[in-house]
Structure 1
Amino acid sequence: MDIFGLLPAFGGFAMTLLAFVAALSIIVFVHEYGHYIVGRWSGIGADVFSVGFGPVLIARVDRRGTRWQIAALPFGGYVKFKGDSDAASGKDGGPMANFLMSIFVFGAVMMASGVASERVAVGEINTLPPEYGSELRAGDEILAIEGQPIPDYDAFYAYARDAQAMPSKTYTIRRDGREMQVQGPFPLLPLVASVQPRSAAFAAGIRPGDVILSVEGAPVWAFHQLQEAVRNAEPGTPLALEVWRAGERAQLLLAPKMVDLPKDDGGWETRPLIGITADTFFSPETVTPGPLAAIGLGAERTWNVVTASLSGMWHMITGAISSCNLSGPVGIAQASGAMASQGLDSFIWFIAVLSTAVGLLNLFPIPVLDGGHLVFFAYEAVAGRPPPDRAFRILMAVGLTLVLSLKSGGRTMQQIHDEYRGLSLMVDLNWDWVLWCVAIGAALGTLAWILPA
């Protein structure tokens, strides 16, 4: 297989690898720093703090005697505490550091970019094809569409979901203190807000800002028309799209892919998608949240990632969704490169999502992961003695083998979709291997309990 054919087209192998290494190194550093700082607070010094494995590229020793180093293979890291016989991350704190990083990053991004104000007001009009004429201006407050009141964004998006698609709609607005009626495009257009990595749209070269004008020759004025066309398409059958980009028009062919998606009721459904999110014809008026509000919003986003991931795992256990949607490290590398291609804010947001996923994964009771260490600590607290050395080594060897096997195991996709930002991210989580690790870890843990010391 030609590996270059698997990589995002925007920058080739080097750019994808650079984005992947940058994302992974940041997450590993934060995770290991969590172990390091908890150990230091507990009065335990560290001999080595390493980001990466193998030959050391850069190193320095601080005043506490800890050697901080960057190694040649940036696919993990470790902290070697004083008195440890091996280099491992044996102190608690890594997953919590990942969660705190996600909360901080989510909150910081929302403080920097702002969040939509409570009133439905126009920040600025997006660049659109000439077919989409608009009489709205920046600062206009939308009060109603075709006579239907629009008190908030929930009502705005509900109207966009259910209303009849038309080239133009009548908007009742408030401008400079006066109410008036003006004409504008359909509220939610086939205007691309973001493109999912490794999707049909990404492979076809669709970019944020593109406007899809027609599907199979039929004009589309609303995003729900595009959704309907994709939903009714035969899986694997290419669709002909006319796309507008910065004044130029092009014809593209792409075949929707079957994807497992979370539903509002907590369930999952499988349906064809091309892999884009839609945007309104205007950018909303925004307000800047305060630090405490931003932390709260960041915590909410982090919790959404956790709950959606656990929901996906549960539905895979019950057979409600497939476990064969995405590959492992190559998929994460592609996602890293794809999000970097969509801008710095998208890449930073992706790192925060991935950090949450790494923190959650490390809490599973799998030997060699942090959750496995917690199981060993719990065993020692209950039994009054550590696990027998033989059982401990067996557990660690099995756990290490299975974790390393993640790269070739089955796959599933967890989509994290944030409606405000219009950003949809895919995170590779090899949950079927996780389940096997949990089951085998539990069985071997039982053996460790009954084996003599």
Structure 2
Amino acid sequence: MDILALMPTFGGFLGTVVAFVVALSIIVAIHEYGHYIVGRWCGIHAEVFSLGFGPVIYSRVDTRGTKWQLALLPFGGYVKFLGDSDAASGKDGEAIRELSDAERKRTMHGADLWRRAAAVAAGPIFNFILSILVFGAIFFFSGTATEEPVIGEVKPHPVDVSAFQPGDRILSINGVETPDLTTFYQVARAMTPAETVDYTVERDGVRESFEGVYPFPPIVDVVQPRSAAIDSGMRVGDVIVSIDGQPVYAMTQVQDIVREGAGATMQLSIWRDGDIYDVTLTPRQRDLPTDGGFEQRYLIGFSGGLFFEPTRETLGPFSALWGGVVQTWAIAMNSLSGLWHMITGAISSCNMQGPIGIAQTSGDMASQGAREFVWFVAVLSTAVGLLNLFPIPVLDGGHLVFHAYEAVRGRPPSDRALNYLMTAGLALLLSLMVFALTNDLFCT
């Protein structure tokens, strides 16, 4: 497979690289700062805080004797504590033996067990905190839809929507009353797709009736990264008016046609800002999470919603923060579920992305706007925190397993055993990276 085919233009390639480096640098900096600051609080001295690997571009030493540096290769980072032999916190036995008892307690290998465990666990925990704060901030500033079927903003559509105005309360659809937003959703989803339906609204205390667009039109609200939709140039706000010449008025029609096509190439006619564009694309098979499992479906790669944005209400800071906790937990649980289903063979191993896939996703999300990119950074931060908790030597989770062994046995594993385990862990991690990279190159 030609890797350049993944990046059709230099501008797209450059944007993808920049977005990937920015996202990864933020997440790594937060992760390593967690190790650093909690280690410092616990009395463990950090000799080096590095963002990136390889030749050092810039460095300075602070008043505590920690060297802060920016390295040439921006694909990771590390904190090297006193007594470490390398970036993976290997033990420098010779150097530690030359330290005094007081200095030895300032190393990652001589400090009290709970202090070492706290410093190790802090990296993934700071990743989760970052995710919670970002999701919470997005929820706080965007608010949440009210339970009233009141129009906040009407989305552009080829069917005339000028009869609707912000503040209109929708009283009924095709004569069926809609007293709240939940009922509105239920009524709308049960309707037969049609180009127009009858609405009754209340505006400034006056009831008005008129025809309007189908409640759930095939309008693009979100374009999924690494999808047929984004590769074909589809954008948020696009409205699909026909597929292979067949007019479509509802999102359910699009879903039915794609499902029945079973991956066949199709031509979409798209309305955008008053003009019609033709797009040819091939839906891709994806594994979608369901209650307790996954199902395979062919997808174009976009999602939609109502023809209008409901009015929104502001969330309090604690409610928004709790929403961030719930969102982070859901991402972590879905990730673990997906991994388990890959291991058992229930879903394709192509769901595991490597660096190229993550970079593509970074670029795709950045191309859709700052909010979408920041959301992706929070999702990726959760994934990085979760990955680092896996009980693999060289990862934080592996170190925590060693600390748990020490807590139970009263002594740490021998240096020889640690060296063997760290080597095996590194080999396993590199194998997984190669496997994921292979997925990036050969999975569609």
Structure 2 CA distance for aligned equivalents of residues 50 and 172 of structure 1: 62
Structure 2 CA distance for aligned equivalents of residues 153 and 11 of structure 1: 43
Which residue of 1 is the match for residue 121 of structure 2? 92
Comparing 88-97 with 329-338, greater Cα deviation is found at 88-97
Q: What does residue range 282-297 of structure 1 map to in structure 2 within 5 Å? A: 282-297=308-323
Q: Does 1:395 align with 2:395?
A: no
Which residue of 2 is the match for residue 378 of structure 1? 404
SS in 1 for 2:404: helix
Structure 2 CA distance for aligned equivalents of residues 334 and 177 of structure 1: 51
Q: 1:181 aligns with which of 205, 209, 234?
A: 209
**Against the structure 1 CA distance between its residues 2 and 293, is the aligned structure 2 distance closer, same or farther, given a 3 Å change threshold?**
same
What amino acid maps onto 1:321 in structure 2? Answer: I
Which residue of 2 is the match for residue 101 of structure 1? 130
SS in 2 for 1:188: coil
**Against the structure 1 CA distance between its residues 150 and 357, is the aligned structure 2 distance closer, same or farther, given a 3 Å change threshold?**
farther
Structure 1 CA distance for aligned equivalents of residues 406 and 28 of structure 2: 28
Contact 1:132 1:167 in 2 (8 A): no
Which residue of 2 is the match for residue 225 of structure 1? 253
Q: What does residue range 203-352 of structure 1 map to in structure 2 within 5 Å? A: 203-235=231-263, 237-263=264-290, 265-325=291-351, 327-352=353-378
| TM-score normalised according to structure 2 size | 0.88
Q: Does 1:167 align with 2:178?
A: no
Any gaps of 5 or more consecutive residues in structure 2? 90-118
Shift of 1:213: 0.5
Which residue of 1 is the match for residue 15 of structure 2? 15
Structure 1 CA distance for aligned equivalents of residues 255 and 74 of structure 2: 40
Shift of 1:123: 1.2
Which residue of 1 is the match for residue 154 of structure 2? 125
Shift of 1:411: 8.3
Deviation string, structure 1 residues 142-197 (Cα, Å, up to 9, x no partner):
23322333344443333343321111122232322334333321111111112111
Structure 1 CA distance for aligned equivalents of residues 352 and 189 of structure 2: 29
Runs of 4+ in 1 over 6 A off after TM superposition: none
Structure 1 CA distance for aligned equivalents of residues 335 and 353 of structure 2: 17
Structure 1 CA distance for aligned equivalents of residues 242 and 422 of structure 2: 56
Contact 1:4 1:12 in 2 (8 A): no
Contact 2:15 2:363 in 1 (8 A): yes
Comparing 365-374 with 404-413, greater Cα deviation is found at 404-413
SS in 2 for 1:124: strand
Q: 2:432 aligns with which of 394, 406, 422?
A: 406
Deviation string, structure 1 residues 319-348 (Cα, Å, up to 9, x no partner):
321112454110000000000000000000
Structure 1 CA distance for aligned equivalents of residues 177 and 9 of structure 2: 44
Structure 1 CA distance for aligned equivalents of residues 387 and 9 of structure 2: 30
What amino acid maps onto 1:228 in structure 2? Answer: D
Contact 2:244 2:267 in 1 (8 A): yes
Contact 1:80 1:87 in 2 (8 A): yes
Shift of 1:11: 3.6
Q: What does residue range 433-444 of structure 1 map to in structure 2 within 5 Å? A: none
Shift of 1:313: 2.0
How large is the RMSD of aligned CA atoms in angstroms? 2.1
Shift of 1:138: 0.4
Which residue of 2 is the match for residue 75 of structure 1? 75
Contact 1:136 1:183 in 2 (8 A): no
Which residue of 2 is the match for residue 416 of structure 1? none
| TM-score normalised according to structure 1 size | 0.86
What amino acid maps onto 1:333 in structure 2? Answer: A
Contact 2:355 2:437 in 1 (8 A): no
Structure 2 CA distance for aligned equivalents of residues 134 and 277 of structure 1: 24
Structure 1 CA distance for aligned equivalents of residues 346 and 207 of structure 2: 50
What amino acid maps onto 1:12 in structure 2? Answer: G
**Against the structure 1 CA distance between its residues 318 and 86, is the aligned structure 2 distance closer, same or farther, given a 3 Å change threshold?**
closer
Contact 1:125 1:282 in 2 (8 A): yes
Any gaps of 5 or more consecutive residues in structure 1? 414-427, 429-453
Shift of 1:8: 6.5
SS in 2 for 1:52: strand
Contact 2:60 2:69 in 1 (8 A): yes
Contact 1:323 1:412 in 2 (8 A): no
Q: What does residue range 113-152 of structure 1 map to in structure 2 within 5 Å? A: 113-129=142-158, 131-152=159-180
Structure 2 CA distance for aligned equivalents of residues 315 and 226 of structure 1: 28
Contact 1:238 1:253 in 2 (8 A): yes
SS in 2 for 1:14: helix
What amino acid maps onto 1:303 in structure 2? Answer: W
Structure 2 CA distance for aligned equivalents of residues 349 and 356 of structure 1: 11
Structure 2 CA distance for aligned equivalents of residues 205 and 10 of structure 1: 16
Which residue of 2 is the match for residue 353 of structure 1? 379
Which residue of 2 is the match for residue 59 of structure 1? 59
Shift of 1:398: 1.6
**Against the structure 1 CA distance between its residues 60 and 231, is the aligned structure 2 distance closer, same or farther, given a 3 Å change threshold?**
same
Structure 2 CA distance for aligned equivalents of residues 166 and 259 of structure 1: 29
Contact 1:324 1:411 in 2 (8 A): no
Deviation string, structure 1 residues 106-145 (Cα, Å, up to 9, x no partner):
111122222222222211111222x344521101122332
Structure 1 CA distance for aligned equivalents of residues 54 and 78 of structure 2: 12
Contact 1:324 1:412 in 2 (8 A): no
Q: 1:365 aligns with which of 382, 391, 409?
A: 391
Structure 1 CA distance for aligned equivalents of residues 180 and 58 of structure 2: 54
Structure 1 CA distance for aligned equivalents of residues 362 and 155 of structure 2: 27
Shift of 1:412: 12
Which residue of 1 is the match for residue 5 of structure 2? 5
Structure 2 CA distance for aligned equivalents of residues 329 and 303 of structure 1: 24
Q: Does 1:192 align with 2:231?
A: no
**Against the structure 1 CA distance between its residues 166 and 207, is the aligned structure 2 distance closer, same or farther, given a 3 Å change threshold?**
same
Comparing 272-281 with 150-159, greater Cα deviation is found at 150-159
Larger radius of gyration: 2
SS in 2 for 1:51: strand
**Against the structure 1 CA distance between its residues 153 and 57, is the aligned structure 2 distance closer, same or farther, given a 3 Å change threshold?**
farther
Shift of 1:306: 1.1
Structure 2 CA distance for aligned equivalents of residues 410 and 155 of structure 1: 44
